[in-house]
Chains A and B, each alone.
Chain A
């Protein structure tokens, strides 16, 4: 049985294993039809309002379905893409409007990650991506981050904008974070 509710495809639990196996194979990026029609709208300017609307609907769904493990591969990819676009958009705004109270941007990014994490926990690679992002946000001294670092981070997260997270681009992302002195596990210097 497949139940269609706006933007959320729910399959029976016994279909899940099949979906997971399929997700590990190369699968063409397939965003849900409604988003496909509007995909050209996903400019940085429109991400904010459109994303907010989608986010509100998803949050309300999530409120009543804690840790659902029933989303399709394409739906997870769609959400990964949305997270990456939103974060990139915030980082770009941060780069352009850097002020002493720029922490508002990082707070916004934390919200984005928190709001979308449940979707991304369902696929191995996406789960590690969202967990890396969470750790990244907690482990760095954002009060003293340079604009060039913000730019680096924006470029690195952009690699996931098409929603395709695989081991290769995830490894590159992890290495680039390390090379650019972003901490994911924190260090013990102050202990």
Chain B
């Protein structure tokens, strides 16, 4: 008789991030960890670091440059792009929490609070994760350990100088790319996330070098995660695009919401 293996679940970027902000998401991860083995991927860690942590660091630098919190906040709110909106809103919320509670008589004190928040997020990003798997394990950004503010400049430079080898990734997954393109039904619609992914995947199929373009690579992150997730693994996410992407490649989705309901589709 063979022992039954625990279900294996990939914790996706949105869950990895939202666990810090919503107790229901943190509780759901704890519940999942009881009977399952929790994984995340190197690419998801990359997204967390190059997206969310870098966003906070950018904000940290804005305050330093502007010299006062009010101007930095105005610049920040005019700065973010639609694709970064989720990260931006959470960073804004986090900053408001710190801003609302702390003595802001000196900018320096305020910056220290942001620094400690970055440290806390960085050290606890994978606290519940049993194993990290997938492509992009060699990325310098993934390996980068962000500690105090002395690391920020080098960390940001590392992100800029070390693009992930998406062209190689898609070259090795040409067949899966075709399956995704054939399986996606939401192909049009300007603001529908899956339609955007479809259009970008089409560009990659036309020419693999397109995958290295910033606007293309940033819009296909969910597709990369779906492809990079091994067969028989489930993807725990709050993001609706996985509802369409995962079934195409026979991967199950665990939808995590912010109101304590873990919904399986």
Where the two chains meet, the residues of A that have a C-beta atom closer than 8 Å to any C-beta of B are: 67, 121, 124-125, 127-128, 130-132, 134-135, 138-139, 167, 170-171, 174-175, 177-179, 184-189, 191
Interface residues of B in 15-69 (CB under 8 A from A): 20-24, 26
Tell me the complex Cα distance, A131–B101, Å.
Answer: 13
Partner of A178, one of B23, B90, B113, B127: B127
Which of B21, B97, B102, B149 is the most central at the interface, judged by chain A CB atoms within 10 Å of its CB?
B97
What total of chain B residues lie within 8 Å of the partner, measured CB to CB? 31
Shortest distance in angstroms between A172's beta carbon and chain B's nearest beta carbon? 9
Q: In the complex, what residues of A have CB within 8 A of residue B119's CB? A: 128, 132, 170, 174
User: Can you name 30 A-B pairs with beta carbons within 8 Å?
Assistant: A121-B112, A125-B148, A127-B148, A128-B148, A130-B112, A131-B112, A131-B113, A131-B115, A132-B116, A135-B98, A135-B113, A135-B116, A135-B117, A138-B101, A138-B102, A167-B147, A170-B119, A174-B119, A174-B120, A175-B123, A175-B124, A177-B120, A178-B123, A179-B127, A184-B120, A185-B21, A185-B97, A185-B121, A187-B22, A188-B90
Give every chain B residue within 8 A of A131 (Cβ-Cβ).
112-113, 115-116
Which residue of B is nearest A131, CB measured? B116
Bound CA span A187–B25, Å: 11
List the 3 closest pairs (A to B, CB-CB), nearest first: A131-B116, A124-B148, A174-B123
Query: Given that A128-B119, A175-B123 are contacting pairs, would A134 and B147 also be in contact in the complex, using a CB cutoff of 8 Å?
Result: no
Q: Which one of A135, A175, A179, A189 lies within 8 Å of B23 (CB-CB)?
A: A189
Q: A127-B148, A189-B24 are contacts. A184–B116 as well, Cβ < 8 Å?
A: yes
Known interface pairs A121-B112, A132-B120; 11 further A-B residue pairs with C-beta atoms within 8 A, sorted by A's residue number = A125-B148, A127-B115, A127-B148, A131-B112, A131-B115, A134-B113, A138-B101, A174-B123, A184-B116, A187-B21, A188-B93
- Residues on B facing A (Cβ under 8 Å): 20-24, 26, 90, 93-94, 97-98, 101-102, 106, 108, 112-113, 115-117, 119-121, 123-124, 127, 147-150, 258
A185 touches B123 (CB 8 A): no
Nearest-CB distance from A9 to chain B (Å)? 23
Q: From the candidates A132, A135, A185, name the one contacting B20 in the complex (CB within 8 A).
A: A185
Contact of A185 among B24, B94, B150 (CB under 8 A): B94
Looking across the interface, which residue of chain B has its beta carbon closest to that of A191?
A: B93
Complex alpha-carbon distance, A184 and B20, angstroms: 9
Is B21 within 8 A of A188, CB to CB? yes
Contacts of A139 in B (CB 8 A): 97, 101
Cβ–Cβ contact A124 & B150, under 8 A: yes
Q: Could you tell me the distance between the alpha carbons of A160 and B124 in the complex, rounded to whole angstroms?
A: 20
B148 proximity list for chain A (CB < 8 A): 124-125, 127-128
B115, A189: Cβ atoms under 8 Å?
no
- CA–CA, A130 to B124, complex, Å? 18
Bound together, the chains give a CA A153 to CA B98 distance in angstroms of 22
For B20, the chain A residues whose CB sits under 8 A away are 185, 187
Question: Inside 8 A of B93's CB, which chain A residues have their CB?
Answer: 188, 191
- Expressed in whole angstroms, the Cα–Cα distance for A67 and B93 within the complex equals 29
A121: B residues at CB distance < 8 A: 108, 112
A67 to chain B, nearest CB (A): 7
- What separation, in Å, do the CA atoms of A100 and B75 have in the docked complex? 45
Q: Are A186 and B23 touching (Cβ within 8 A)?
A: no
Contacts of B97 in A (CB 8 A): 139, 185-186
Set of chain A residues within 8 Å of B112, measured between Cβ atoms = 121, 127-128, 130-131
Which residues of the partner chain A approach B102 to less than 8 Å between Cβ atoms? 134, 138
CA distance A186 to B94 in the complex (A): 8
* C-alpha spacing A128/B108, complex, angstroms: 13
Which B residues are CB-close (under 8 A) to A124? 147-150
Min CB gap B238→A, angstroms: 13
Residues of A within 8 A of B101 (CB): 138-139
Complex: A67 Cα to B106 Cα, angstroms: 10
Residues of B within 8 A of A175 (CB): 123-124, 127
Q: Which residues of A contact B90 (CB under 8 A)?
A: 188
User: Could you tell me the distance in whole angstroms from the C-beta of B48 to the nearest C-beta in chain A?
Assistant: 15
> In the complex, A189 Cα to B260 Cα: how many Å?
11
Q: Nearest residue in A to B94 (C-beta to C-beta)?
A: A185
Smallest Cβ distance from A170 to chain B, in angstroms? 8
